[in-house]
């Protein structure tokens, strides 16, 4: 494909990059969901447990030298700005996260809190955790630290303030 043919479909390089960034994010979201559904088929878990293991899987993806790390976590916000990252999370993650959080509330595995603000807060935690890991000089060490901190914070949402590991 020639450059002219490619740019015929996009207004500029930024729009092309934004499209690539979104596609990579969608693929990662699908991979995470498929992984959790496969894990659940082998060992059924409540929605909150699925979310917590899915969050840890997302953090794992933040350490690997992948398209997700480079395009979505590092280059995307650097090239397009933080607003592009926030918009991407809103388009690709909020509905899915909100639905799973709603299930966790319905199943009574987490305290009943308003799901809209909870979705935004959890998404912000995951976003910052992922970016922190991807930009760290030692991503593996950062991943270990963030994993502990994130899980400790999330345990506070569980009914009674404690969740199973």
Overall domain count for the chain: 1
CA distance 130 to 19: 20
Sign for the CA dihedral angle at 32, 36, 37, 42 comes to positive
Q: Residue 86 belongs to what domain range? A: 13-161
pLDDT digits (tens, 9 = 90+) for 24-72: 888 888 888 888 778 878 877 888 988 998 899 889 888 877 888 888 8
Q: Residue 119 class from Cβ within 10 Å (0-12 exposed, 13-18 middle, 19+ buried)?
A: buried
Residue 136 φ/ψ, nearest 5 degrees: -70, 145
| Position 152 confidence tier, pLDDT thresholds 50, 70, 90 | very high
pLDDT number for residue 6? 55
Residue 20 lies in a domain: yes
Residue 5 lies in a domain: no
The CATH number covering residue 42 comes to 1.10.357.10
Query: Cα–Cα distances in Å, from 59 out to 13, 14, 19, 55, 146?
Result: 29, 26, 23, 6, 8
Q: Does the pLDDT at position 85 exceed 80?
A: no
Tell me what the mean pLDDT of segment 1-12 comes to: 62
- Phi then psi for residue 110, to 5 deg, are -130, 160
Q: Is residue 6 part of a domain?
A: no
Residue 91 confidence (pLDDT) above 50: yes
Domain-located, residue 137: yes
Residue 87 half-sphere exposure, CB side, CA atoms within 13 Å?
Answer: 11
**pTM of the full structure:** 0.78
Residue 140 pLDDT more than 90?
yes
């Amino acid at each position: 494909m020639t450059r002219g043919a490619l740019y015929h479909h996009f207004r500029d390089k930024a729009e092309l990059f934004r499209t690539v960034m979104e596609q990579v994010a969608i693929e990662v979201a699908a991979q995470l969901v498929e992984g959790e559904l496969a894990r659940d088929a082998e060992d059924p878990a409540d929605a909150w447990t699925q979310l917590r293991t899915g969050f840890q899987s997302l953090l794992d993806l933040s350490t690997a030298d992948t398209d997700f790390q480079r395009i979505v976590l590092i280059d995307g916000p650097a090239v397009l700005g933080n607003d592009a990252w926030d918009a991407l999370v809103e388009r690709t993650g909020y509905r899915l996260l909100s639905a799973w959080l709603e299930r966790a509330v319905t199943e009574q595995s987490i305290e009943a809190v308003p799901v809209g603000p909870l979705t935004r807060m959890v998404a912000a935690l995951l976003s910052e955790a992922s970016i922190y890991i991807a930009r760290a000089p030692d991503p593996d060490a950062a991943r270990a630290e963030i994993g502990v901190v994130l899980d400790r914070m999330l345990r506070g949402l569980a009914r009674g303030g404690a969740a199973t590991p």
